[in-house]
Amino acid sequence: MRLVRIPSPGVISVEEAPKPEVAAGQVLLKMNYVGFCGSDLNTFLGRNLMAKEAVIPGHETGATIESTGAGVPDFLKPGMTVTVNPYTNCGHCAACRSGHANACEFNETLGVQRDGAMRDYMVLPWEKIIPAQGLSPRDCALVEPMSVGFHAVSRAQVTDSDTVMVMGCGMIGVGAIVRASLRGATVIAVDLDDDKLALARRLGAAHTINSKTQDLHSTLMELTAGTGPNVVIEAVGSVPTYQAAIAEVAYSGRVVCIGYSKSDVQLPTSLFVKKELHIFGSRNAMPGDFEAVIRYLLRGQCPTSELISSCIGPGKAFDAMREWADAPGRVFRIVVDFN
């Protein structure tokens, strides 16, 4: 079988390996589509300090069950279209014991701390398989990144009385926009790219702000009658966006942090107190978030083709990643076709 590996920064290789064999409690998956995400790009660029050496990337998957081992429940059957929960959890750390397995202290995500799904076949424990009957395998590869945005909205306990500013309209921000709008909130999408903002409107944003060409503060004051949004979801991971999230959120508001900033952020901590802010981290996603994304996609209202910048074969992975590195703001998702 074929697999894609990042043996060193700036290098991608396509290799041959034996097809894995399924064991008890495991499911053998035929990988149909696997997405490259921002963490894979950072691994390719040598910036992902969490990635194992010479890692096989990929944790955004659309697959078909090839076979199942002994002891796998009957609801998982060969031929089913599925996606994968790519996170591990130890079961005994503080997060796991409190029911937050997504934030396990010892988590190892596929394609980061352990070899991922960018290959023709792989075996996984049956507990990590998420049925997605009715979705195309290609669209299944969008479920995991959207679920991260869905989870952030759940962290803020967003309702229809909220005004939610989502900073960053990449795939994770898109998930937050969709989930917040589904909950009836008024969504303000912020980005530097007009094409992404236009898509954000089609996905449920009531207002959009290009913070490169518009003044963020004055526009927000106009849109929110001078109060600011009472929920801000930071889905960029940059110093300016983190600072803007704290500065612009309303008094007694909620800030949800998804993005990893590559450098330390200086924040006016006095605003934490003066505004009596609720500040949440949001990591990965829970099984319920995956299921909510699948239900949303099954409605057929999401323009999934617009979320996929390119669909390539494994042999084109290096060229695609080089092009993404040269123009990171123009790419939603690159999906690798293993059919």
In order along its 339 residues, the chain shows pLDDT tens digits of 999 999 999 999 999 999 999 999 999 999 999 999 989 999 999 999 889 999 999 999 999 999 999 999 999 999 999 999 999 999 999 999 999 999 999 999 999 999 999 999 999 999 999 999 999 999 999 999 999 999 999 999 999 999 999 999 999 999 999 999 999 999 999 999 999 999 999 999 999 999 999 999 999 999 999 999 999 999 999 999 999 999 999 999 999 999 988 889 999 999 999 999 999 999 999 999 999 999 999 999 999 999 999 999 999 999 999 999 998 777 889 999 999
Please report the pLDDT score of residue 262 as a whole number.
82
CB 16 within 8 A of CB 8: no
The owner of tokens 């390119």 is 310
Cα gap 235→231, rounded to integer Å: 13
pTM score, whole prediction: 0.95
Cα 298 from Cα 38, distance rounded (Å): 25
d(CA 5, CA 159) in angstroms, rounded, equals: 42
Residue 77 in contact with residue 94, Cβ under 8 Å? no
Residues 6 or more apart whose Cβ sits within 8 Å of residue 327: none
End-to-end Cα, the chain, rounded Å: 12
pLDDT value at residue 273: 98
pLDDT at 327: 84
For the four alpha carbons of 60, 62, 67 and 73, in that order, the dihedral sign comes to: positive
Per-residue confidence (pLDDT) for residue 329, from 0 to 100: 75
Q: Looking at residue 328, what is its pLDDT?
A: 79
